[in-house]
Structure 1
Amino acid sequence: MDIEQCACCFANLEESQIGLCGDCQQKDEAGREWVKSLHEEWPEFSLNGQRWSFGPVELALWDDEEEGFHFYANHGLAEPTVESLIRFIEQQ
């Protein structure tokens, strides 16, 4: 019987059970929820014709060529808001 190792916890799984074990399924679901929460926590705003987004630690700037946000800076703000990020950008 072929045995495959689960990439997350190295549990041996029989061929008929290939996939994530119970623990890894829970971790996978929690990971998806975490990624979803990151997207929900990244407000967007425009300033001087540029599109910005921010999270708890980082500030990102929209790249038209790549059609996505890219890291700009760690803002270091304890409770970032659009207003505080605008001040941060203007001080750069």
Structure 2
Amino acid sequence: MPWLKRNQISYGANPRGTINIDKCSRAVAWLDGRDYVTPDDIRFIVNDVLRHRLILSYDANTEDVNANAAIDELLKAVAVA
């Protein structure tokens, strides 16, 4: 998998994407019997929530980068506190 480059995402997720990450991660936590969300809950649902919201550039498509790979690379760049 090639590293994600700056120009490979044409459009990212809008605010509704973050709202849906919040709602879905809360649902996952609730199904696990918790009233709080963990980073693992977000990792569990983030690809499903954001996959169709990213529009990759032509360069990304020619280098076989798909939305799942792009999201995975972005998650690696986020520090978990």
TM-score, normalised relative to structure 2: 0.24
TM-score, normalised relative to structure 1: 0.21
More strand by share: 1
Asked which structure has the greater CA Rg, the reply is 1
